[in-house]
Amino acid sequence: MDARSIITALRFGQPLSRPEIEWFAKGLASGAVTDAQAGAFAMAVCLNGLGEQGRVVLTEAMRDSGDILKWDLPGTVLDKHSTGGVGDSVSLMLAPALAACGAYVPMISGRGLGHTGGTLDKLEAIPGLATEVDEPSLRRMLDEFGCAIVSATGQIAPADKRLYAVRDVTATVESIDLITASILSKKLAAGLEGLVLDVKCGSGAFMKSMEEAQTLSKALVSTANGAGCAATALITDMNQPLASTAGNALEVSECMTVFEGMLESPLAELTCILGGALLALGGLAPNERVGREMIQGSIANGQAGERFGKMVAFLGGPRDFLENWRACLPTAPVAVDVFAEFSGIVQAIDTQIVGMAVVHLGGGRLRGGDRIEPAVGLSNIIRLGASVDSETPLARVHALSKEDAQRAASIIRDAVVLGDAPVQPPPLIYERIVQ
């Protein structure tokens, strides 16, 4: 068996056998497959696809290319994955809320990608906190308080790490088969029993259209189930930022207000909906409605916040963060409101541009290795359908300098479209995809 014959078969649209796919994944992890061969494989998959069964096999093979976590816990191991958006800090609240409801959540997360924020970058906005832990520490966290939000080790799905880097430079990122295998190989290596997938759709999502979001959702659900992990997907709106904030420390601060009882927001609502779906999927709630009430209750009674505080302290953050988070989080030296230039109703928001405004402030990476400025970003972001005039802020910019703030203000004005027609805000949830 060799890479050339496998690539040739793919190029001519021939289905690959399980041994062939497994051999190729092992070769990606070991280096036996060259970068050129990996790129050719990715392009052949992008053009011809693998088929549903081939997608399952590739996911399993990349999962099995490195360490697989196995658990012996007195409860169900659950997690959630989001395809990325702006102002989406659900994970920070969902993991401890699920743990407070009896689940165990080893949430291996990522950093910001393009215009979307990263869970690890948000968490590391807390002074002293570091998300890199070894496996014994991860196990301690789950034993002691039921949840962990941490970065992946180099031995989690190394075949995916190699193929992902090649896809980025060979224009093959958009392949549904490769996207699905990439997402799920890492998640399934965490030893999950249930997974909810939050697939974003809209101007701030990677999947701009409903058709694209549906295609990816169905592929993720069928592949996860085919690989032995119960899964469901929710297609959610990203035609405006989910939260009223975008930027690492600012999003943490909004999460903390939810922990303090501010449950009337799209951010809190989606957290409860996703958590309810997971509790029902994992058998910890009789249905999603009851599961949602359980998540909301764990936040309202303070148990979710208590577990979040314990996680922060374990990862090196302040031990009194839950009580004194306002004094702990960094703040930007410049904060200015962005006003509309004329009156109107917010017709549309180019959410990707909003996300890039945060990146250019320093809240994300333009290049790999760029330093993140945790304090910068946006707050009080206007919502679709809101009426504004010249005295109504579209957002508040938090910046390192007045010049940065002025540039961001101009970008925000361009991203928000005003008009005269009344606007019906989009639903938070468009569709549920189940097996």
Active site residue 79: yes
The residue from 115, 162, 167, 292 that is catalytic is 167
Task: Please choose, from the candidates 304, 336, 30, the residue with its C-alpha nearest in 3D space to the C-alpha of residue 158.
Answer: 30
The residue from 109, 116, 119, 298 that is catalytic is 119
The residue from 81, 115, 122, 162 that is catalytic is 81
Question: What six digits make up the tokens of 199?
Answer: 């697939």
The residue from 55, 80, 292, 396 that is catalytic is 80
Active site residue 367: no
The residue from 122, 161, 186, 310 that is catalytic is 186
Q: How far is CA 317 from CA 129, 258, 370, in A?
A: 4, 19, 22
Task: Please choose, from the candidates 97, 93, 92, 96, the residue with its C-alpha nearest in 3D space to the C-alpha of residue 122.
Answer: 92
Active site residue 186: yes
Question: What six digits make up the tokens of 223?
Answer: 């592949």
> Is 252 within 8 Å of 259 (Cβ atoms)?
no
The residue from 59, 65, 82, 116 that is catalytic is 82
Question: In which region does residue 119 sit, left (phi positive, over 0), alpha (psi from -120 to 50) or beta (all else)?
Answer: alpha
The residue from 187, 292, 310, 398 that is catalytic is 187
| Pairwise CA distance, residues 218 & 205, whole Å | 17
Active site residue 122: no
Active site residue 4: no
Residue 134 sits at the vertex; the CA angle it makes with 199 and 158, to the nearest 5 degrees, is 55
Active site residue 91: no
Q: How far is CA 64 from CA 155, 160, 227, in A?
A: 10, 10, 11
The residues carrying an active-site annotation are 79-82, 119, 167, 182, 186-187
